[in-house]
Amino acid sequence: MSGSPPAERRLSTRHALHCPVTLPPDDKPAHWSSAVSRTLLSVDMRLERPDQWSARITAEGLGPVQIASIESDPLTISRDPGHVLADGRDCLMARLQEDGTSTVHQDGRTESLLPGAMAFYDASRPFTLVMPEAYRAKVLVVPRRALGLSEAELPRLIARPIQADTALSAMLLPIISRLADGAGPHPWPIRRQIARTLLDLLATLATGTLDTLGTHDMEDQRAGADRAHLARVHAFINKHLADSGLSPETIARHHGISVRYLHKLFQEHGTTVGRWIRQRRLEECRKELARGGRSSRTVAAVAQHWGFISPAHFSRVFRAAYGMSPREWQALWREPVGAAHERAHDRARDRASGRPAERADERRAHAAALVGPAGALMDDKPCAPGQGRARRRA
């Protein structure tokens, strides 16, 4: 008595689905999302020009490998954490671009695929695919472990365009494409062998690609990790500026990094942790003091609110940064624009220097020019991820 066919043979099914141009435009995104979800995995769609939009997908199951041939007008495909949890697909996608272009966004990397190129992306993590024009592509869905790569190696491969520009890729990419095209009409034993051959070829291509990337890619990965860490540290500091106990130790402990590594992140941008915190606090104090109004806080209260413990220290660093005391800055912005009367010491200073007295609005413009449009002295701006080394003050 014959038993049930093996699981991988039961998966050898073929689906052909079409989203016609005559379908009501409002129904097309849900219709096509459902089609792709049934044949490949759960995603959302955003269509360009829905009234004129159409697409076709033919999907083939070869046991552990799924192959989909897609022709479509422009669209954006998104897979978010909810989709990942919903279908639990722990697999990799190999996308072979045949016509048109695609842009893959995953794990902080954005890369474009031109015709003839391939890229892997991870179905167990969110991703976005943007197709700005009509396109044709093949998508191969393979088990995550089928490529024989470690979890440390996989991130280097994800969303990385593989062009036919090396001896290995120039040989393998056309073979993979032809095997994917011709797998359908053969008996099951042949189809199963084709699936195994495809997995072997994809694994060889992936390993060769990683070898080609070499040490330069590892340096790029480290730089990307540094930028991500610095962005998170900046956000944490900005959120806790009012905490007078904010220190390199508390920042490093919160982010699970060493104090030494934290200092290195800031040194690479020509500043220090303490200098960056002080500059951000000064900027917030400067903005609050400039708001003016009778209900505004005193200089000492503003300084304390933004983490300065000593009013005297605050006054010194404020004057060093902006060329005037906090009280002078606050008074400058409290005066009405075009005031007829100048403060006595201003008039005395102007007379002593032989300069004509400035109106309050002119002094404001002069002060704003010194401070700069970003609210900081032009040579002492906070560093941001991706910027070069900050210029040091002469």
The DSSP H or E segment spanning 392 is none
Q: Is residue 312 part of a domain?
A: yes
SS3 225: helix
Q: Domain containing 317 — which CATH number? A: 1.10.10.60
Residue 220 domain flag: no
Task: Please provide residue 149's backbone torsions phi and psi, each rounded to the nearest 5 degrees.
Answer: -100, 150
SS (H, E, C) 2-25: CCCCCHHHHCCCEEEEEECCCCCH
Pair (194, 270) in one structural domain: no
Structural domain that includes position 299? 248-371
What gap in Å lies between CA 141 and CA 120, rounded to an integer? 10
Q: Are residues 208 and 252 in the same domain?
A: no
- Kindly state whether residue 47 falls inside one of the protein's structural domains: yes
Buried b / exposed e over 310-320, threshold 16 CB at 10 Å, is ebeebbebbee
Contact indicator for 74, 131 with CB cutoff of 8 Å = yes
What pLDDT, on the 0 to 100 scale, is given for residue 382?
38
DSSP string, 75-119: EEEEE-HHHHHHH---EEEEEEEEES-EEEEETTEEEEE-TT-EE
Whether residues 307 and 252 share a domain: the answer is yes
The three-point CA angle 208-211-213 to 5° equals 110
Does 275 lie in the same domain as 188? no
Look at residue 135 in the predicted model and tell me its pLDDT.
93
Write down the pLDDT at residue 177. 85
What is the predicted pLDDT for the residue at 148? 87
pLDDT given at position 11: 42
Give the list of residues 6+ apart from residue 249 with CB closer than 8 angstroms, or none. 259
Say if 39 falls within a structural domain: yes
Q: Which single residue is written with the structure tokens 């695929």?
A: 113
pTM over 0.75: no
The tally of domains found in the chain comes to 2
CATH number at residue 59: 2.60.120.280
pLDDT along the chain (394 residues), means of 10: 38 67 84 83 87 87 87 92 84 92 91 91 92 92 88 87 85 86 77 88 90 66 82 93 93 92 92 95 90 73 92 94 90 60 47 50 53 40 40 34
Q: In this structure, are residues 302 and 288 in contact, taking their beta carbons and an 8 Å threshold? A: yes
Look up residue 27 and give its DSSP letter: G
Q: Count H helices, E strands: the chain?
A: 14, 11
